[in-house]
Amino acid sequence: MPKILYCRCAFAQVVPQATKDAVLERLCASGTSFETVADLCEMAARRDERLTGLLDSDEPVKIAACYPRAVKWLFHNAGVPFPADDPDRIEVLNMREQTADAIADALIDQP
């Protein structure tokens, strides 16, 4: 089961509110374990150690946030190596462009 990080994008507010709300609602209703953060950009700016903890094992990780290239550089700027060349290891779901259903389906482990 992959680790899931869900970003609320609270400060930049570039992700549509309806998308954020729908994805969060589906995650909560699913019973799937996940971590939610107020704002991934702010975490990276503060070099929050939870970013390192998220990627410090070989477990797969799914991140619901923004553009994959932006997420990659947020981790890079925070000093956290980002295994972007391994699609089986990490998946970034883009809440700015993908539908809430597509993101939730990708996050939630379907039986």
Domain boundaries, given as residue ranges, for the chain:
3-107
In this structure, which amino acid lies at residue 86?
D
pLDDT number for residue 110: 54
Q: Per the confidence metrics, is the pTM higher than 0.85?
A: yes
**Residue 40: is its pLDDT beyond 70?**
yes
pLDDT number for residue 81: 86
CATH number of 3-107: 3.40.50
Helix or strand holding residue 62 (H, E): strand 61-65
Q: Which pLDDT band, with edges at 50, 70 and 90, does 111 fall under?
A: very low
Please tell me which residue, 103 or 85, carries the higher pLDDT value: 103
CA distance 12 to 95: 13
Distances in Å between the alpha carbon of 105 and those of 32, 39, 82? 12, 22, 24
